């Protein structure tokens, strides 16, 4: 009798815990950092679960194409990933994307996967100067601004007429 | 020849562990130095954008070249059938493999991105002699292991001659490849020459044999095993021939370079006005590394004394390191002749303004890494000797060559 | 049996429809991004129909001017390089990356002095590409010689092999870099003929633009294979040569008056 009670309670606690974990998974599960452009968007360039699992494959494939054939106009560009997912301070200064608590860190810290992309790649959008005039690091990339301002993805947040 | 008995190296345990401890400590410090260089970046070393291969490469290339030459003794026994060398074959294989591992380790740990070793081992550009060398180095280990197996396993004995021949061809290809790493480069006047390949082969014979002899004499001496005159004098005379071979190639190299107007500057840089490179060349390579050992070996009294012979071997090794320093670093330091018959007055990238060579000062980290590689090679040798039967019990005259005593 | 399979079929149809709709919804924003961004950033692979090159007229190169160097530094983020703490200035000068440099030479016989910028010559038969063990150093279809920094293991063999000493090794951690020009510790790099500009539809390199802005116009950039391009016309109109022409590398960068 006592055994049955103990086993029963253990089982219910276990099930409850599992349900809670699943609920937590489903509910506050976004790793997108508030203040980034990505926070205002429905999903990434592909559905979120797909991106979570396969973003590395996309990047590995795309980087060879970009370096060897020069194709830079692609939705899998790491430059655009950074531009979209980087968040900003109150004074609209970009925070390095691989910083603690920032976008990459929120998953990579838990997954214990070290990434070395940002040993070489810029952690905030940094345009090159044009004609001897220094570029504005706060302004984001020229291409990025043109692309996103003209698309249906409204920077202020999803509105009725602005969804695809 | 009597039947040769091989036995594990049996020095007293406390001495053995002390030796291992020292070697492990040096290897460990070398590893820490490599870790520091990798973590901080190469700015902590003395290497720059003008002298990009420094002391680690001096050690690495030396160890790799010596590794190939250390196998020579086994080849002479297996392939050329000289009976007096046969007992030395197993040790020769062990030392060759150990030296190669040490050299490779130093090379790999000096990479700008050593964590990309997997990339280096899976992505090959087969136009690159460097890529071929990676293949030749790792293959050499496999070949030596197979060769050792044929020597040490009774069932493998019939195949020793074939394995020995294959190993000999492989290591000659390897050393040709190592020399060609430099010889194929048109960019630098010190390198751009086909004679570097055979020069490296001659150097491998010389340095490999010197290291082999030191290891042999040390291990036998520590374990109370006798080395007879027949073997010792044979080896020392062979070393003299190899030293002579290297000197020949050096002579040909310089005579040819001096003859051509465009290369006279380079030849005189090495021979006369290259500062440290001239000093290391004459004193380190030629004098201490070649002429003095030759003098010792052919001396009527000193040449018969094992201690002097060991000293000669040590000097050859130092001369070997000096030769690598002169060839590799000297070749980088000599200003590149971008505008023949014009003088560079100013440059934003150290293009040899006024004919000045590039500056290079080795850092402690580089030296520690190089020594760490040597220690790893010796560690592998020490462990191998203790665990398996590499060393013959005796190399005295009666065991090795009964006829010698009769003739004497 | 038949009823069951019909129900299953309908469910399957509904599923496929939703999946197709979802896929379309996923693709549409990307399509719109392509459209609005315009044709400027390259979306088709480069081909060998084009070969980029330069002509440097050393007679027009001004003594003491380094506008091309400054422009290259700014364009490629080299001006963001920082000396590591604890390193001497002198050593830093020898270790920091330089993609283009000014050289002043004097003829031993006549005493005539020439000034010229020197950078990667983008050879047709690059020794650096031959010697790279992993193939990281490669020549793109349009003639630009590049380092694939994803594959470079930092062995510096290409630096040894370059007849123009054009390459630099990054000796330190790079804290600041541009988005269009990634660069990091442990790899080798050199002049890319402003490949980020090539792939973004811009006409010229930073150095050529800067030299034109200064009024010297010593550097002309263009397509060697296009016989009507300004570069080709200039090349055809005067005697030009390669530096170290005896090596027969067929460089993309040519010089005149030196």
- Residue B186 CA to residue B237 CA, distance in Å, equals 37
> If we measure between CA atoms, which residue out of B359, B389, B396, B387 comes closest to residue B51?
B359
In angstroms, what separates the C-alpha of A125 from chain C's closest C-alpha?
6
Class at the top of the CATH hierarchy for domain C52-256? alpha beta
Q: pLDDT digits over A55-97, tens only?
A: 999 999 999 999 999 998 888 989 999 999 998 888 888 999 9
| Statement: residue C5 has pLDDT above 60 | no
Minimal-distance CA residue of chain B relative to C82: B43
Of B113, B184, B358, Cβ closest to residue C187? B113
- Whichever domain contains B299, its CATH number is 1.20.1630.10
The verdict on a CB contact (< 8 Å) between C29 and A148 is: no
Return the higher-pLDDT residue of A155 and A11: A11
What is the structure's pLDDT at A27? 45
Minimal-distance CA residue of chain B relative to C258: B339
Return the higher-pLDDT residue of B294 and C18: B294
Quote the number of domains for chain B.
1
Confidence of residue A22 (pLDDT cuts 50, 70, 90): low
Of C108, C156, C171, Cβ closest to residue B341? C108
Of C100, C107, C156, Cβ closest to residue B53? C156
Q: Considering the domain boundaries, does residue B405 fall inside one? A: no
Q: pLDDT digits over B44-96, tens only?
A: 999 999 999 999 999 999 999 999 999 999 999 999 989 999 999 999 999 99
Say which residue the tokens 């040798």 belong to.
Answer: B381
> If we measure between CA atoms, which residue out of C66, C36, C209, C196 comes closest to residue A127?
C196
What is the structure's pLDDT at C1? 47
Contact residues, chain B, for C98 at CB < 8 Å? 49, 348-349
What is the structure's pLDDT at C35? 34
| Statement: residue C43 has pLDDT above 90 | no
Mean pLDDT of chain B: 95
Q: Considering the domain boundaries, does residue B330 fall inside one? A: yes
Q: Considering the domain boundaries, does residue B3 fall inside one? A: no
Contact residues, chain A, for C26 at CB < 8 Å? 43, 45-47
Token digits of residue C14: 């509904």
Hey, which of A29-43, C16-30, C222-236 has the most confident mean pLDDT? C222-236
The verdict on a CB contact (< 8 Å) between C156 and B112 is: yes
What is the structure's pLDDT at B406? 52
What is the structure's pLDDT at A152? 31
| Statement: residue A159 has pLDDT above 50 | no
Confidence of residue C24 (pLDDT cuts 50, 70, 90): low
Return the higher-pLDDT residue of A12 and B123: B123
Q: pLDDT digits over C96-118, tens only?
A: 999 999 999 999 999 999 999 99
- Per-domain residue ranges of chain C: 2-39, 52-256
Of B348, B351, B354, which to mutate for an interface test with C (greatest number of C Cβ within 10 Å)?
B348
| Statement: residue B319 has pLDDT above 60 | yes
| Statement: residue B11 has pLDDT above 60 | yes
Of A119, A135, A138, A139, which to mutate for an interface test with C (greatest number of C Cβ within 10 Å)?
A119
E strand or H helix at B182: helix B160-183
Cβ neighbours of residue B234 closer than 8 Å, sequence gap 6 or more? B84, B85
Cβ neighbours of residue C72 closer than 8 Å, sequence gap 6 or more? C78, C99, C100, C119, C191, C206, C207
- Mean of the pLDDT values across residues C229-240? 96
The verdict on a CB contact (< 8 Å) between B49 and C188 is: no
A49-53, B234-238, C63-67: which has the minimum mean pLDDT?
Answer: A49-53
Per the structure, the complete domain to which residue B85 belongs is given by 19-338+350-396
Confidence of residue A5 (pLDDT cuts 50, 70, 90): confident
Q: Considering the domain boundaries, does residue B314 fall inside one? A: yes
Name residue C107's beta-bridge partners: B342
| Statement: residue B243 has pLDDT above 50 | yes
| Statement: residue C34 has pLDDT above 60 | no
- Mean of the pLDDT values across residues A99-123? 91
Q: pLDDT digits over C77-100, tens only?
A: 999 999 999 999 999 999 999 999
C5 interfaces chain A, CB cutoff of 8 Å: no
What is the structure's pLDDT at B7? 96
Contact residues, chain A, for C30 at CB < 8 Å? 45, 75
What is the structure's pLDDT at C42? 86
- Mean of the pLDDT values across residues B347-362? 94
Minimal-distance CA residue of chain A relative to C170: A120
Q: pLDDT digits over C137-149, tens only?
A: 999 999 999 999 9
Q: pLDDT digits over B392-402, tens only?
A: 999 998 888 76
Of B41, B130, B332, Cβ closest to residue C131? B130
Of A49, A67, A130, which to mutate for an interface test with C (greatest number of C Cβ within 10 Å)?
A67
Name residue C101's beta-bridge partners: C118
The verdict on a CB contact (< 8 Å) between A120 and C187 is: yes
- Per-domain residue ranges of chain A: 1-30, 32-164
Contact residues, chain B, for C258 at CB < 8 Å? 339
What is the structure's pLDDT at A8? 81
| Statement: residue B404 has pLDDT above 70 | no
Contact residues, chain C, for A152 at CB < 8 Å? 29, 32
> If we measure between CA atoms, which residue out of B374, B314, B384 comes closest to residue B29?
B374
> What percentage of chain C has pLDDT greater than the value 90?
81
- Phi first, then psi: give them for residue C18, nearest 5 degrees: -65, -45
The verdict on a CB contact (< 8 Å) between C28 and A151 is: no
CB contacts under 8 A, C 52-71 vs A, are 71
pTM, 2 dp: 0.88
Q: pLDDT digits over B98-107, tens only?
A: 999 999 999 9
């Amino acid at each position: 009798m006592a055994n049955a009670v103990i086993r029963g309670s253990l089982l219910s606690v276990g099930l409850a815990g599992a349900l809670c974990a699943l609920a937590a998974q489903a509910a506050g599960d976004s790793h997108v950092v508030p203040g980034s452009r990505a926070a205002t968007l429905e999903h990434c360039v592909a559905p979120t679960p797909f991106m979570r699992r396969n973003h590395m494959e996309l990047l590995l494939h795309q980087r060879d194409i970009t370096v060897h054939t020069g194709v830079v106009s692609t939705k899998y560009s790491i430059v655009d990933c950074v531009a979209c997912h980087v968040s900003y301070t109150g004074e609209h200064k970009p925070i390095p994307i691989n910083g603690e608590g920032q976008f990459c860190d929120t998953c990579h810290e838990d997954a214990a996967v070290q990434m070395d992309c940002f040993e070489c790649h810029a952690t905030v959008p940094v345009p090159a100067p044009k004609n001897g005039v220094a570029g504005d690091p706060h302004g984001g990339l020229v291409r990025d601004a043109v692309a996103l301002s003209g698309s249906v993805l409204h920077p202020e947040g999803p509105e009725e007429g602005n969804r695809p | 020849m009597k039947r040769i008995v091989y036995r594990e190296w049996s020095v007293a345990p406390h001495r053995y562990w002390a030796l291992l401890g020292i070697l492990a400590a040096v290897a460990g410090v070398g590893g820490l130095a490599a870790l520091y260089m990798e973590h901080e970046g190469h700015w902590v070393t003395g290497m720059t954008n003008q002298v990009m291969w420094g002391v680690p490469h001096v050690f690495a290339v030396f160890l790799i070249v010596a590794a190939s030459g250390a196998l020579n003794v086994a080849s002479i026994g297996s392939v050329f059938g000289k009976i007096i060398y046969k007992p030395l074959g197993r040790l020769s294989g062990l030392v060759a493999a150990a030296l190669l591992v040490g050299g490779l380790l130093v090379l790999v740990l000096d990479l700008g991105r050593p964590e990309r070793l997997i990339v280096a081992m899976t992505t090959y550009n087969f136009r690159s002699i460097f890529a071929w060398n990676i293949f030749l180095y790792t293959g050499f280990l496999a070949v030596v292991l197979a060769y050792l197996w044929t020597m040490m396993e009774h069932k493998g004995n019939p195949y020793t001659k074939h394995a020995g021949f294959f190993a000999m061809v492989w290591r000659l290809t390897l050393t040709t490849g190592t020399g060609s790493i430099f010889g194929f480069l048109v960019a630098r006047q010190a390198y751009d020459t086909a004679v570097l390949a055979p020069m490296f082969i001659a150097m491998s014979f010389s340095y490999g044999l010197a290291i082999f002899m030191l290891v042999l004499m040390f291990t036998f001496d520590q374990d109370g095993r006798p080395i007879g005159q027949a073997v010792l004098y044979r080896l020392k005379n062979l070393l003299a021939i190899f030293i002579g071979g290297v000197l020949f190639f050096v002579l040909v190299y310089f005579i040819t370079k001096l003859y051509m107007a465009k290369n006279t500057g380079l030849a005189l840089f090495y021979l006369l006005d290259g500062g440290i490179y001239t000093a290391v060349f004459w004193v380190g390579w030629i004098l201490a590394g070649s002429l003095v050992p030759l003098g010792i070996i052919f001396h009527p009294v000193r040449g018969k004394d094992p201690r002097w012979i060991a000293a000669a071997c040590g000097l050859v090794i130092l001369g070997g390191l000096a030769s690598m320093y002169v060839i590799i670093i000297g070749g980088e330091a000599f200003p590149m002749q971008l505008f023949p018959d014009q003088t560079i007055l100013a440059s934003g990238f150290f293009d040899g303004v006024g004919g000045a060579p590039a500056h290079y000062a080795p850092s402690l980290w580089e030296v520690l890494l190089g020594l760490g590689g040597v220690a790893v090679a010796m560690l592998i040798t020490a462990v191998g000797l203790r665990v398996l039967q590499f060393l013959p019990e005796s190399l005295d005259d009666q065991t090795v060559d009964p006829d010698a005593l009769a003739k004497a | 049996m038949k009823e069951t399979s019909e129900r299953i079929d309908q469910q399957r149809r509904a599923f496929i429809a939703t999946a197709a709709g979802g896929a379309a919804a996923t693709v549409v924003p990307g399509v719109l991004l392509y459209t609005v961004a315009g044709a400027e950033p390259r979306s088709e692979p480069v081909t060998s129909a084009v070969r980029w090159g330069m002509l440097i007229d050393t007679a027009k190169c001004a003594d003491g001017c380094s506008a091309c160097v400054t422009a290259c530094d700014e364009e490629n983020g080299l001006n963001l390089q920082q000396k590591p703490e604890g390193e001497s200035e002198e050593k830093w000068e020898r270790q920091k990356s330089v993609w283009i440099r000014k050289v002043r030479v004097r003829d031993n016989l006549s005493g005539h002095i020439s000034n010229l910028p020197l950078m990667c010559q983008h050879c047709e038969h690059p020794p650096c590409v031959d010697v790279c063990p992993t193939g990281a150093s490669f020549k793109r279809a349009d003639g630009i010689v590049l380092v694939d920094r994803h594959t470079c293991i930092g062995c510096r063999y290409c630096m040894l092999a370059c007849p123009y000493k054009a390459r630099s090794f990054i000796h330190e951690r790079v804290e600041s870099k541009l988005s269009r020009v990634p660069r990091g510790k442990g790899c080798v790099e050199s002049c890319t003929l402003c490949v980020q500009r090539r792939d973004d539809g811009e006409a010229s390199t930073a150095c050529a633009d800067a030299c034109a802005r200064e009024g010297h116009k010593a550097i002309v950039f263009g397509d060697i294979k296009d016989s009507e391009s300004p570069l080709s016309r200039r090349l055809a109109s005067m005697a030009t040569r390669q530096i170290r022409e005896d090596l027969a590398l067929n460089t993309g960068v040519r010089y005149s008056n030196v």
